[in-house]
Amino acid sequence: MELLVIVAMALVLLFMLGYTLWPIVSGVLFLALMFAIFCELFFAVSGLLWLFARRRKAKYLGLSEDEGPASFAWYEIDGEEYRNIFPTDAFMRRILYRKEEVHVRLLKLRKHAWTFDRVTTLVIGLGLASFAVIIVLLSTLV
């Protein structure tokens, strides 16, 4: 609620200083474009990490609840436990994560190791495609 009051006050101040509506809208669109480019780069780096990860058979162990607000899926590969690289959402947990042997991609970098499960693969693909579309649409408006 406070944010809306601050935004309203800033808009009134800008109108009083003589700005029209278009520079304000184009500024907001520019910020949205920069955010979309940042998200696209994030998913591109995640996709590159996914490409370097090796496919392995794993046993799903469950979700962790003790790592703050986010919970991560854990998998066992060759007797060692590995955490998924992305946190999981509470939406459709029972459908997305099954207690069976699954194929995941394992990435080991020095001291850290992460897995990419099928949900993570889907998120990376959808993120790359959707933010590419958003960038194209926003770039035509800015």
pLDDT digits 0-9 by tens, 64-104: 776 667 778 888 888 888 888 888 776 666 666 767 788 88
**Strands 54-63 vs 73-77: parallel, antiparallel or unpaired:** antiparallel
Whether 60 is covered by a domain: the verdict is yes
Confidence (pLDDT) at 61:
83
Residue 24: pLDDT band with limits 50, 70, 90 = confident
Whether 8 is covered by a domain: the verdict is no
Checking if the pLDDT of 46 tops 90, the result is yes
For residue 96, what are the domain limits?
53-123
This prediction has a pTM of: 0.77
Two tokens, residue 112: 């850290």
Question: What is the tally of structural domains in the chain?
Answer: 1
Whether 58 is covered by a domain: the verdict is yes
Which whole number is the average pLDDT over 101-121? 87
- Choose among 124, 138, 131: nearest CA to 45: 124
Confidence (pLDDT) at 44:
96
Whether 66 is covered by a domain: the verdict is yes
Whether 101 is covered by a domain: the verdict is yes
Determine the Cα–Cα distance for residues 52 and 69; give it in Å rounded to an integer: 29
Whether 42 is covered by a domain: the verdict is no
Whether 47 is covered by a domain: the verdict is no
**Burial per residue of 80-102, b for 16 or more beta-carbon CB atoms within 10 angstroms, e otherwise:** eebbbbbebeeeeeeeebeeeeb
Q: Which residue has the higher pLDDT, 49 or 74?
A: 49
